[in-house]
Amino acid sequence: MRTVVLGGCLGSLAPWLVDDVQRILGERVLTAAWSGCELLVSEFGEGAAVRGAAALTLRGVLAEPWLVADRPGARRMKVS
């Protein structure tokens, strides 16, 4: 099953969009006839894109913290 998520500014417009989007997905998604396509509405609101970008950045920093610590001008913290 494939999923389409209405988020950001589209999430707040969901009451007016859901019926048309579901109909169009049924017409245009090649696998819709045998596996369906689920339509969800995000609950994150208009800040979803910013939160997603922050999460990706934080994931990168946590995965490779030495890249941030070794950049010019980085402040060193003493750990005791």
Which among 33, 31, 43 is positioned nearest to 6, based on CA atoms? 43
Predicted pLDDT of residue 16: 94
User: How confident is the model at residue 3, as a pLDDT?
Assistant: 84
pLDDT of residue 55: 92
| Consecutive 10-residue averages of pLDDT for the chain (80 residues) | 82 91 84 77 84 89 75 61
Q: Which of 26, 15, 51 is nearest to 4 (CA)?
A: 26
Query: What is the spatial distance between Cα 12 and Cα 71, in angstroms, rounded to a whole number?
Result: 40
